[in-house]
Amino acid sequence: MSTGRGTGGKASGDRGLTVNVKKKRGLKASSRAWLQRQLNDPYVRRAKAEGWRSRAAYKLIEIDDRYHLLKKGARIVDLGAAPGGWCQVAVERVGSPDDQVRVVGIDYLPVDPIPGSTILLMDFLDEQAPGALIETLGGPPDIVLSDMAAPTTGHRRTDHLRTMHLCEVAADFAISVLKPGGHFLCKTFQGGTEGDLLAQLKRHFAAVHHVKPPASRDGSVELYLLAKGFKGRRDEGPGEDVDDAEADFGQP
């Protein structure tokens, strides 16, 4: 793995020839389009060259470069860790040693070992998962990260609702375990974040932002929800007006 990888921004300087995937019998048009997009994606090429598990690593790098979340010595939980790119970034930026792991991830998909982290092979929706994460981490986290997304069905509204459910579960977890002053970052989809979730985050965090990092493909509907400055657990009283909650959101 190369050094000095923490630079965000658009991948540049890639003047390689465009790769065209030929039509083949049995290869669906959608699969061919995905393969061609991957082969020509400068972030994919850069990730392979720099040793990141996936192009998604640059999304976290770019968000952290802007908002300075991953402080040295911080404890991190990574929900939906596969294939491990976010864990790699977290380990490098917080300085997580092998003998005192400060980054714990979880996924129901296998993840190859990442020095400085522990990955639980477990579904986060399993009722045993939250306790297992905190026990493995050895205490409450400073940051909860979630790049979870439900498998797509092709129906945009259904996909949005399923991923929003994961975002809500992740937010509930973050609110229940974070240290005061901690942060929560999760993936959602454009198309309207549920008002109840926004009001909940506004009650518990000092600031809430919608963020779309440059590494997120232009045509993608994914968006990241960042809640900064955890205020501590509070009684769930009547929610704030949703319009007021959304008015403070900032775009990068």
Q: Which residue of the set 59, 187, 202, 228 is catalytic?
A: 187
Q: Clarify whether 187 is annotated catalytic.
A: yes
Q: Token pair of 26, please? A: 């049995």
Helix axes 129-137, 156-177, angle to 10 degrees: 50
Residue 119: CB partners within 8 Å, gap ≥ 6?
Answer: 81, 84, 87, 104, 105, 106, 107, 111, 113
Is the peptide bond prior to 83 cis by the omega test (within 30 degrees of 0)?
yes
Cβ neighbourhood burial of 157 (10 Å; 0-12, 13-18, 19+): exposed
- Helix residue ranges, H only, 6-155: 29-39, 42-50, 56-67, 85-94, 129-137
Residues annotated catalytic, as ranges = 187
